[in-house]
Structure 1
Amino acid sequence: MSEEPKPRRRQARGERRIAQLLQAAANVFCANGYTATSTNAIAREASVSPGTLYQYFPNKEAIAVELGDRLLHQMREAHGQAFTPENFELPLPELLDAVLDPMIEFNCQNPVFLALMHGSEVPGKIAEEHDELHASLLARVGDLLGHYLPDLPAGDRARIADMTFAVFKGGLALVLAAPEGPERDATIAELKTALHRYLDPVIGDANITCPSPVTTTPTP
C-alpha cells in the first residue's frame, strides 16, 4: 500500500518535464523558426542534457508534433468560445468583440502557434491538422454569414468568409508584432474597426433586424 503513490509521483514528474521541454521548444521555435531549431538548442533552453530530452522525445519532429497537438486543441477551444449561437444574436460591434477576443488572446499567449503552423518544413501532421483547423474556421465564418443572410449565394458567402479571414490574419500579425500595452490595444482596436467597416455593409442591418428563434408551446 505504501508504494502505490510512487508511480503517480513519477508520472507527475514526467508530465512536468514534458511541459518544461515543450515550453523551451516554443521559445526556440519562436526565436529561430522550426527549420533552424535543433534538439540541442531546445535542451539548452530547458537547462537539461540532450540525453534527458531524448528520454521523452526521439527527435525535433516529435517535439513539434506534440506541441502542435496541444496548441491546436487549445485553439479549437478558443473557437468554441467565439462561435456560439448567443454571440450570433449580438449587434455587430459586440459580436466582433465576442468572436475576436478569445482568438486574439490565444495567439498573444501562444506566439509559437503562428511560428510553428506557418513555418517552412513543419511536419506533415501539423500542416494537415492546421489545414483542417483553417477549413473549420472558414466554415464557422460562413455559418455566421448564413445566419444573417440565409439567401446569400454559396459563392458569395465563401468569398466574403475568405476575405474576412484574410483581414483577420493580416491584422493579427500586426497585433503580435506590437508591444504589449497601449500600442497592442490600439492595434487590436484598428483590426476590429477594419473588420467592422468591411462587414457592416454586408450584415450590419441583418445583424440588427435578424429575429431570434421563436419557440412555441402547444396549447393544452
Structure 2
Amino acid sequence: MSEEPAPRRRQARGERRITQLLQAAASVFCRTGYSAASTNAIAREAQVSPGTLYQYFPNKEAIAVELGGRLLQQMRETHGLAFDAANLDLPLPELVDAVLEPVIDFNCRNPAFLALMHGSGDIPGRIAEEHDAVHASMLGRIADVIGKFVPSLPADDRGRVADMTLGIVKAGLDLVLAAPEGPAREATVAELKKAVVRYLAPLLEPDPDAPARLTTTPSS
C-alpha cells in the first residue's frame, strides 16, 4: 500500500492546528470577551507560539471571522432542526420544547457564540452582518409559526411578538449558561421554556369565545 501523499498529510495537520487555535480562541473569547482578547492569549491557550498562530491567522479579526463563520453555519443547521415542519403541528408546550431544545443545546456546547456575537459592539463587520442575517431569519420563522396559529394576526403584530419571544429566549440563554451544569442548569432551562409558553399561550391558545387578534394599542 502506498503512503498517503505528503500534501494531504500536511493539509490534515493544518486543519487540526486550525481547529486547535479556534478552540483556544473560543475559550479566550468566553473568558475575556472579544475586545480584551489578544493573539498572544489565544496562542498561550492553544499552547503554541505566536509565530505558529500567525502561520494560520494574520490577526485576531481573522480568527474571529473563521470561528464566527463556523458557528453561524452550525446555528443555521440548528434552526433547520428546530423549525422542522413536523414540529409545527405539535401543541404549544411540545412545540416550544422541540424548538428550544436544539437551540439551547447548541449554545451550551458553544458558549463562544453568545460571547462573540453579543459580548461587544466591535466584532468584525462581516460576522456582524452574517449574524444579523441569521437573526432576521430566526425572527421570520418565529413570525411564521405565530401566523400558523393565528392567521388573522396582522403582520406587524406577528413581528412584534416574534421580536419579544426571541428577546425572552436570549435573556434566558444568558441565565442558562450562567447556571452550573446539572440540576441547576436543567431547572433554568425548564423555567425558560415555561416563560416562553406563558408568554405565547394567551395569543396562540386563545379563549375560543374571544377574537383571535392581539391588541397592541389601548382603546380610546
| TM-score where L is the length of structure 1 | 0.91
> 5+ unaligned residues in a row in structure 1: which ranges?
207-220
User: What is the match of residue 217 of structure 1?
Assistant: none
Q: Give 1:137's aligned residue.
A: 138
Equivalent residue letter for 1:197: R
Matched residue, 1:202: 203
1:125 maps to 2:126: yes
**Equivalent residue number for residue 80 of structure 1:** 80
How is 1:86-101 mapped onto 2 (pairs within 5 angstroms)? Answer: 86-101=86-101
Mapped partners of 2:6, 2:206: distance in 1: 63
CA distance in 2, matches of 1:43, 1:58: 12
Map of 2:161 onto structure 1: 160
The CA distance in 1 between the partners of 2:37 and 2:8, in whole Å, is 33
Q: Distance in 2 between matches of 1:45 and 1:194?
A: 38
Q: Deviations over 1:22-54 (max 9, x none)?
A: 000000011111111110110011010111000
What are structure 2's unaligned runs of at least 5 residues? 208-220
Report deviation, 1:5.
2.0
Q: What residue identity is the alignment partner of 2:73?
A: H
1:114 — aligned with what?
114
Question: In structure 2, how many angstroms separate the alpha carbons of the residues matched to 1:4 and 1:115?
Answer: 40
Separation in 2, partners of 1:81, 1:91: 17
Q: Secondary structure at the match of 2:90?
A: coil
Aligned pairs for 1:174-189 within 5 A:
174-189=175-190
Question: For residue 151 of structure 2, what is the aligned residue in structure 1?
Answer: 150
3-state SS of 1:139 partner? helix
C-alpha spacing 1:5/1:169, structure 2 compared with 1 (3 Å): same
- The correspondence of residues 14-93 of structure 1 with structure 2, limited to 5 A, is 14-93=14-93
Count of residue correspondences? 206
Partners in 2 of 1:55 and 1:129 — Cα distance?
26
Counterparts of 2:5 and 2:94, CA distance in 1? 49
Paired residue secondary structure (2:128)? helix
Over the aligned positions, Cα root-mean-square deviation in angstroms equals 1.4
User: Aligned partner of 2:145: which letter?
Assistant: L
Q: Which residue of 2 aligns with 1:211?
A: none
Q: CA deviation at 1:203?
A: 0.8
Q: Partners of 1:4 and 1:28 in 2: how far apart?
A: 35
